[in-house]
Structure 1
């Protein structure tokens, strides 16, 4: 019985390691299954990563779903537009958030029905909009 338990645990550990070692093709398949497509998510991620990595405030601000709620100096703030987001960029895209985005690899993104998560939840993106016909890929949450 003890040998069976040890063998079962070893198999679970091996399988969990394999599940964590995803490829870009695995991520594409995951996104296709969740959202019916992957290319828009891959393209958005690449654009976001480049913009955040180079502190391109205007581009990042253009990728946000407005109005946007953020915590700035410990207070909830409603950011109404890209100009306001760019003005408060350094308080929203903190060093922790930037680090998570820059270090994130496409193949290790986490995705569920709510969207795609970067890092440990530092940033989320998904298709958003007022109605299905006008949905576009946007940043939906930033958590420091």
Structure 2
């Protein structure tokens, strides 16, 4: 009997040891799959993000870019994400790619875009300042007039519908030279930011210096010829009356319409035109060549 009891105790100890060994091996296995101590949810997010990137990259390879409806030039769009977030986008067909940027109207900070377009599909990856992918636009279109689809976060956890309508086209222009009048697009946008600043602060003298004279504008409803800075300053409040001032103060300084007459800044019938001019004895510079305030 004593030998039987001893044998049973030994048997139990052996089973306990096996159980402990099995548990230890499982622990090692988990640690091996997670060498950096990253929790399971983070691993899942990374795996999902990698899977989504692979999926969209595969879709890009399948796009027949030779069937793209986009021709040389800038295509500017206005629309929304999730039906209630206004955005603007400008894209350009460069080689086999579609490049460009977009911004949320509330923030006005450009976000870089790069992708491809086929006959009826377009996929654009967006990137932040560090080059990190922050989202993907996948849209369809019958013509370039309208693009609609889904914006998706890189990890695939967020997705919202988007819809864009064509606002204007700048056909035939070289990439990076949409405004034609200068070698540097940013120079134009910087100039218009200055103009907006003068209008917002009511700096009549500085604004007067940016105008090509003589210039015709409406003063109290009648077309009036202004000969110089003094004429402009004297009639400033009648020219920049509240409604006109509000429009040009809120106008976007990006993705501007341009043609042989210059660059239009404003909205609808309330606008100003910008051109590069050569004042007597001075270097070429951007100036206001027309003011349509009614």
TM-score, normalised with respect to structure 2: 0.39
- Equivalent residue number for residue 273 of structure 2: 124
**Displacement, 1:37?**
2.6
**Displacement, 1:94?**
2.3
Which runs of structure 2 are paired with 1:6-85 in the superposition (5 Å)? Answer: 10-12=141-143, 13-14=146-147, 17=164, 19-20=166-167, 28-31=176-179, 34-35=180-181, 36-85=183-232
Q: How many matched pairs?
A: 130
- When structure 1 is superposed on structure 2, of 53-62 and 116-125 the one drifting more is 116-125
- Equivalent residue number for residue 136 of structure 1: 285
**Displacement, 1:81?**
0.7
- More contact order relative to length (CA 8 Å, sep ≥ 6): 1
- Equivalent residue number for residue 100 of structure 2: none
1:78-137 CA distance string (max 9 Å, x none)? 111111101100111222321222111222422222111122242111112467x74321
Please identify the structure whose Cα radius of gyration is greater.
Answer: 2
8 A Cα contact 1:68 1:79, kept in partner:
yes
Distance 2:178 2:285 in 1: 19
More helix by share: 1
Distance 1:29 1:57 in 2: 31
1:43-102 CA distance string (max 9 Å, x none)? 210110100111111111111111111121232211111111011001112223212221
8 A Cα contact 2:189 2:254, kept in partner:
no
Unaligned runs of 5+ in 2: 1-119, 121-140, 149-162, 169-174
**Displacement, 1:14?**
1.1
- Where do 4+ consecutive residues of structure 1 move more than 4 Å? 18-21
- When structure 1 is superposed on structure 2, of 109-118 and 10-19 the one drifting more is 10-19
More strand by share: 2
- Equivalent residue number for residue 24 of structure 1: none
Unaligned runs of 5+ in 1: 1-6, 22-26
TM-score, normalised with respect to structure 1: 0.74
Distance 2:292 2:259 in 1: 17
Residue aligned with 1:14, SS: strand
Which runs of structure 2 are paired with 1:103-118 in the superposition (5 Å)? Answer: 103-118=250-265
- Equivalent residue number for residue 100 of structure 1: 247
